[in-house]
Copies of this chain bind each other. A is one copy, B any other.
Amino acid sequence: MSSYKSWVTVPKGSHFSLANIPFGIISTAADSRPRPAVAIGEHVLDLCVFAANGGFSALPDSTAYLHVFQQSTLNDFAALGRPVHRAVRVYLQDVFRAETPYPDVLRDNAGLREQVLLPLASVTNHMPLHVGDYADFFAGYYHALKAIQVYDVQLADNYTHMPVGYNGRSSAVVLSGTPIRRPLGQFRETKDSAPVFGATRQLDFEVELGCFIGRPSRFSEPIGVDDAEDHIFGVVLLNDWSARDIQAWEMPPLGPVNGKSFGTSISPWVVLADALAPFRTAAVANPTTVLPYLQQADANNVYDIKLHATLTTPSGNTQVVTSLSSKHTLWSFPQMIAHQSSNGCPMRSGDIMASGTISGPTRFEHGTFLEINDNGALSSDIAGKEERSYLLDGDTLELSGVCGDDEEALVGFGTCVGTILPALVK
């Protein structure tokens, strides 16, 4: 697709084509300051140094906010709202375009290029935003249907009426690559036995998307469902690591806490809402007519992102354990935002709204081992050499996600990875 041709080499199949331009926070061996950057192909553009050297001089009105690129997180940039994100992204696309209208800014400016266009492999990623609150929903419709079947319970009456969710623990949200220690916790070995304290025996992953809030809202001011899109900064892959035995025992009546809060991994590059717009599609049709505050004018309110989870064992055996589309949710991010803010709860820049596990309608599209293996009754074949019901110590679980079919214009997320460390001795 010629409109996404860049003078920067973008290998075919790269997640970071000119159609994407995701934002993250990087540091380098030469400059340890965490600072904003965008990724393109196998390079990143250091926005901090780029901004400080006049890189945005051709972008109208940008001087008013260029200080955001001197920050160590993207929160201040996110807070500026969609029109600014759009202007900056479109400008950077123009700067990188093969036939750039601004050749002197970077393409033909070897001195600046040398300073700001860095090999992706040479940078260290940091948390892209400081996370204020992290809410996790239960929007994956087929996940909900399968989960209640596994646990032999009924779907709650509220499920089709509102985006049901819980508030998670923002202190435990970590960047992809952070090792995840198998948690200790309290659980029952059988349904009628006394609880014990020990390392979880049912360590699971969850395939999710996380939506970062951009423009904040104020205390006591709800966000309307059709205004909510303006409050979205972008999206990351999110793995809500879960200890099923701990979670099952603790949940009644206040919901999950320790079964979740030992680690929640996110991918480092935030794909802006604008970059995902071409991949919007309809959510799962809701059998219930929802209340007006949740009725969204745009029927294409979720994204069709191809998601994969890949397990690599300590022996080096690798297996894609599930593949699915992110579209299989009953609720959209705008609906989650409208619902959670309907009572006046403030949304801050950097808050995360997560989808909850997404699963597709077939047994090949489950987003957790809980579903894939019927809570331990079955096991997944790993490259014909090993089996897994749940995650074992040393296992590495990688999520990946990508939109589009044009290998030269993919909008991808890269990966979200974590390796399981053995439990601490209790």
Contacts and interface: CB of A to CB of B under 8 A. Distances in A.
Contacts of A339: 186, 258
A347 interface: yes
Interface stretch (A22-30, A156-164, A230-238, A274-282): A156-164
A351 B259 CA distance: 19
Interface in A141-197: 153, 156-158, 161-162, 164-172, 174, 178-181, 183-186, 195-197
Given A158-B249, A220-B262, A345 B166 contact: no
A345 B258 contact: yes
A156 B219 contact: no
A378 interface: no
A184 B222 contact: yes
A132 interface: yes
Nearest to A148: B253
A346 B164 contact: no
A253 B222 contact: no
A376 interface: no
17 contacts: A135-B169, A164-B253, A166-B167, A166-B257, A167-B167, A171-B351, A181-B344, A183-B344, A184-B222, A184-B293, A197-B291, A220-B262, A220-B263, A220-B421, A263-B344, A293-B426, A344-B424
B171 A348 contact: yes
Interface residues of A, number: 66
A83 interface: no
B184 A133 contact: no
A99 to B, nearest CB: 45
A408 B199 CA distance: 51
A72 interface: no
Given A342-B185, A345-B171, A293 B254 contact: no
What are the 10 A-B residue pairs with the smallest beta carbon separation, nearest first?
A255-B255, A183-B343, A156-B252, A181-B220, A166-B254, A262-B343, A261-B345, A254-B255, A167-B167, A171-B346
Given A158-B195, A170-B132, A171-B351, A185 B261 contact: no
B132 A219 contact: no
Contacts of A162: 186, 195, 250
B170 A138 contact: no
Contacts of A185: 342-343
A246 interface: yes
A249 B343 CA distance: 14
A256 interface: yes
A340 B347 CA distance: 25
Given A253-B255, A263-B219, A421-B220, A186 B161 contact: yes
Nearest to A172: B345
Contacts of A255: 166, 251, 253-256
Given A195-B291, A261-B167, A254 B252 contact: no
A170 to B, nearest CB: 6
A262 B345 contact: yes
A243 interface: yes
Nearest to A183: B343
A342 B156 contact: no
A111 interface: no
Interface string A105-138: 0000000000000000000000000001101001
A159 to B, nearest CB: 9
